[in-house]
Amino acid sequence: MRLLSLVLVLGLAGCGLIRPIGGEGVSAQNLPYRASLKRGEDRRDLTVRVRAPGATVGQVRESVRFQATRYCLSTYGGSDAYWAIDPATGDWAFVRAGEDMVFTARCTAR
């Protein structure tokens, strides 16, 4: 019994020393563009603004998605968001505001 307790204590103490499976994950510092999120009047609605003069949706997608995923996950417990879609392209819709691209989405987790 004493040996089992020792193994458990040492095992738990080492948990923080082991890298998570699949790497360290993504942080906002590793993304190519700086994006900021603002929630809407309905807290499920959000806008993400990214400063990216001349960039395409594909180039900014992960920077934008990161902000929405983090917000939806921490607020609603799920990472899914429904993005406004541009009917002409079938891709995420956005508006240009100066050098910024502004995207809208809605958290879908319950």
pLDDT average per 10 residues of sequence, the chain (110 residues):
51 46 56 95 97 94 97 96 98 96 94
Q: How many CB atoms lie within 10 A of CB 34?
A: 13
Task: For residue 68, tell me if it sits in a domain.
Answer: yes
Predicted local distance difference test score (pLDDT) of residue 50: 97
Task: For residue 16, tell me if it sits in a domain.
Answer: no
Predicted local distance difference test score (pLDDT) of residue 110: 77
Domain containing 101 equals: 31-107
Identify the helix (H) or strand (E) that includes residue 6: helix 2-13
Is this model's pTM higher than 0.85 or not? no
Domain count, the chain: 1
Predicted local distance difference test score (pLDDT) of residue 2: 60
Task: For residue 12, tell me if it sits in a domain.
Answer: no
Predicted local distance difference test score (pLDDT) of residue 18: 43
SS3 82: strand
Predicted local distance difference test score (pLDDT) of residue 35: 96
Task: For residue 54, tell me if it sits in a domain.
Answer: yes
Task: For residue 6, tell me if it sits in a domain.
Answer: no
Identify the helix (H) or strand (E) that includes residue 106: strand 100-107
Task: For residue 1, tell me if it sits in a domain.
Answer: no
Predicted local distance difference test score (pLDDT) of residue 43: 95
Task: For residue 75, tell me if it sits in a domain.
Answer: yes
**What's the rounded Cα separation, in Å, for the pair 53 and 65?**
18
Task: For residue 100, tell me if it sits in a domain.
Answer: yes
